[in-house]
Amino acid sequence: QVRLVESGGGLVQPGGSLRLSCAASGSIFSINAMGWYRQAPGKQRQLVASITYGRRTNTNYADSVKGRFTISRDNAKNTVFLQMNSLKPEDTAVYYCNADLVATPWSSRGDYWGQGTQVTVSS
């Protein structure tokens, strides 16, 4: 069983910074990609940033966070980070960690989600 545990959310003033972490544990054979999504009240969940695994690392960011957010990973710990700088009130949302991985050598790729962590940007 795969488990994703997020941490690092909280309340921050506009212009401030937060760093989110997501640790994947359990049965993990290989990871294809990990990423962060967010969902604000009344809105659909949307991709914030993603990072691929393998020989070549590719990152992808939503236009609204480019230049302010940085996604990175620690392969040894199966952990992905989201450094969020210059936060704005419109960044307020529940942030969810996502992993595209293969749990065992005989299973197919699966999509896994964390429980979410609240980020609130307000003065």
Rounded distance between C-alpha atoms, residue 35 and residue 26, angstroms: 18
| Residues 6+ away with beta carbon under 8 Å from 67 | none
User: What token pair was written down for 59?
Assistant: 């990152």
Return the pLDDT at 58: 95
Q: Output the CA torsion sign for 23, 78, 35, 103.
A: negative
Contact call for residues 52 and 75 (beta carbons, < 8 A) = no
pLDDT at 1 over 90: no
Query: Residue 83 above 90 pLDDT?
Result: yes
For the chain, the average pLDDT equals: 95
CA distance linking residue 47 with residue 21, whole number of Å: 16
pLDDT digits (tens, 9 = 90+) for 88-108: 999 999 999 999 999 988 888
Burial profile 96-122: b = 16 or more Cβ within 10 angstroms, e = fewer = bbbbbbbbeeeeeeeebebebbebebe
pLDDT > 70 in the chain, percent = 100
- pLDDT, one tens digit per residue, over 37-78 is 999 999 999 999 999 998 889 999 999 999 999 999 998 899
